[in-house]
Homo-oligomer: A and B are copies of this chain.
């Protein structure tokens, strides 16, 4: 990964729809070279995917909620059971096992607070081995999924 490759990464991160021709111009190499390098970046896993970013409000997911979870017991089985149960949740965007006051931090997108309340009652408190749930409603999204700055 030299300077040119990093530049390709930066451009594709900013705009995944750039054509190979445009990309080649932007990083100052011939289209053929650019094509081979880009291919290699995908093949080597330096770019893992290209995703269209759907406006959450357009598909009834305008409300963002962060949730901290503490499990009853800290056994491998507890963690595995929780992770499996939570993976089925359609509204779940992020799930991270963390060190600190919580065991897990979740990021959830729902339509509105009513919708979250339904989820909370049906899903969250029904998860296996949960001792405590702390809810953080997002009042304002200052930054969301910012691109990597490298």
Contact = CB atoms under 8 A, between A and B. Distances in A.
A71 interface: no
A98 interface: yes
A105 to B, nearest CB: 5
A73 interface: no
A50 to B, nearest CB: 4
A15 B47 CA distance: 13
A12 B49 CA distance: 11
Interface string A7-32: 00100111111000000000000000
A1 B136 contact: no
Contacts of A59: 6, 9, 148, 150
28 contacts: A9-B54, A13-B51, A13-B53, A16-B50, A16-B51, A46-B54, A47-B53, A48-B54, A48-B55, A51-B53, A56-B148, A59-B148, A61-B148, A61-B150, A87-B142, A90-B149, A92-B143, A93-B143, A93-B146, A95-B141, A96-B136, A96-B138, A97-B138, A97-B142, A98-B136, A100-B137, A104-B142, A105-B136
